Structure 1
């Protein structure tokens, strides 16, 4: 692998520390769009497909995300974007450009077996442009995680330790196919031991699976989005949501705070509500620092 690619992986992004909460905060799971008009169109279509009935707390446009970051004291936002295969390369380039033009935005890129071109060459180019990880949403993108068409991506990531974020589980109780089920992702976790895998939504809110995976695999992490939330609309409609703080505290203490990354899934989740919930929990300051920001900073090499 060329030296400049490794340099890009090590370089990181330099940013600010927003002192509103007294913590460095990274929202590790946000979907962003170029304009409010585009955002409204995509959100409406997504909500209809997955029968999501609550009102979104924002639009996810760059302007909206930046405003929300300033309001809630968020230092960095990880853009976990994906798109259909025909426009996926264009969408990746847009995410990378948006991060260059907007301080504090950290880009992930996505792939699909039907993408044209040599995927590893694309990934190397994306990394040179600032990509910090990969986001897969197999259920929404419509492919099996173990598809042979993306094996080269896993090989590359295993060689370099480049992180992969997997949507894991349903979407607001809707399950269009089995492609994002934990059983579909587990063979990859077992095979590629050097890839840091992040399972969103606390592995579909399955506490037993979270504990078991954390004991069996050192390369598995979990994001808190939707399942560990403080946003009333989600708490009312999403199951399972861990409504009892004690469930969260026991899980943190059992698996270790270093295995959890704060994420909101904005503009479906609300980072402001979720941050406030974590700040009020009976966790140590060190545990909160790790979950709210430091774990993402280390994993995605943000600083």
Structure 2
């Protein structure tokens, strides 16, 4: 019987958030207002890295996003600078659909060290394959860089025009050359998103928030609705993720539900390490 630590370690966490403090405070205020979540995790890079390292995470991804035009360049640069000072951080970039030079902003970020793109579809009011970000998707394809989306309806976007399985299918059909991940297991349309993972080689999911021990109380989703067999079958398409530091519970709760399942060791290696490594294009 392996201990949880052995099963989890070494891990990659491909879904965390690192923002300058003022921006992080603003984001947290919105989440508290709209979802009622309270946060006590520290937000400084060194403190986040201490939590991750203590858990056995050796590499993590910082996912940025901006809610208005004109912010992306500065945020992307800041995150790349943070990564340059870190042994653990893989920076992603973002761009706003209303930015003036969408392709140029993304290209500059990739040249400065960013390894992928992040879009928060509801916050940025952008569909996954929106024509306005087509130049960004093309640059990502050119650099073989993955793109992580908040593309599902959870936790409060069920009436939102920019998310959902149908729009994600458009992305998958339009950009077969791109590796794309829908965060949060595609909740609340998990069946449709799991079907994408089965059907498309380039479609990935992360477990962030949806598979935590607190998913039921924080977002009204039952992790038990996804059976063990699904993780065994699709372990090459599903990766762990946490949303640290913006989770209203201890970091261990993010993996405790998965670790409690007693999945095969190979499945855990995929979920916690191998799949993210492939998705991110990290060298051995």
Provide the TM-score with structure 2 as the length reference.
0.88
Which residue is equivalent to 1:267? 245
Further displaced range: 260-269 or 273-282: 273-282
Residue 96 (str. 1) matches residue 75 (str. 2) = no
What's the offset of the Cα at 1:196? Answer: 0.5
| 1:291 Cα offset (Å) | 0.7
> 1:292 maps to which residue?
272
Q: Label 1:60 to 1:184 Cα distance change in 2 as closer, same or farther (>3 A).
A: farther
The answer to whether the 8 Å contact 1:30/1:263 transfers is: yes
Contact 1:178 1:184 in 2 (8 A): no
Equivalent position of 2:217 in the other structure: 236
Give runs of aligned pairs for residues 44-193 of structure 1, distance below 5 A. Answer: 44-48=29-33, 51-83=34-66, 84-117=68-101, 119-175=102-158, 177-193=160-176
Please name the residue that 1:27 is paired with: 13
SS at 1:86's partner residue? coil
SS at match of 2:15: strand
Structure 1 residues 26 and 271: alpha-carbon distance in aligned structure 2, compared to 1, 3 A threshold:
farther
1:12 counterpart residue number: none
- Number of matched pairs: 276
Equivalent residue of 1:135, what SS? strand
Question: Structure 2 stretches of 5 or more lacking a match?
Answer: none
Query: What's the C-alpha RMSD, in Å, of the aligned pairs?
Result: 2.3
**Structure 2 Cα separation of the partners of residues 241 and 177 of structure 1:** 22
**d(CA) in 2 for partners of 1:88, 1:266:** 21
* Counterpart-to-counterpart distance in 1, 2:72 and 2:94: 7
**How far apart are 1:172 and its partner, in Å?**
2.5
Once residues 73 and 36 of structure 2 are traced to their aligned partners in structure 1, the CA distance between those partners, rounded to angstroms, is 31
Contact 1:29/1:79, CA 8 A, preserved across alignment: yes
Quick one: structure 1 residues 58 and 95, their matched pair in 2 at CA, closer, same or farther if it must change by over 3 Å?
same
Shift of 1:266: 1.8
Q: Is the 8 A contact 1:262 1:292 kept in 2?
A: yes
Comparing 195-204 and 261-270, the one that deviates more: 261-270
> Would you say the 8 A contact 2:197–2:205 is kept in 1?
no
| 1:41/1:226 CA distance change after superposition, 3 Å | same
Residues 58/174 of structure 1: CA separation in 2 closer, same or farther (3 Å cut): farther
Aligned-residue offset at 1:174: 4.4
Runs of 4+ in 1 over 6 A off after TM superposition: none
Q: Deviations over 1:44-74 (max 9, x none)?
A: 13332xx211322514332331221133221
For residues 63 and 115 of structure 2, what CA distance do their matches in structure 1 show?
A: 10
Match of 1:10 in 2: none
Aligned to 1:196: 179
Deviations 1:254-302 (A, max 9, x none): 3x21101110112233542222333332211111011101211222133
> Which of the residues 13, 28, 35 maps onto 1:43?
28
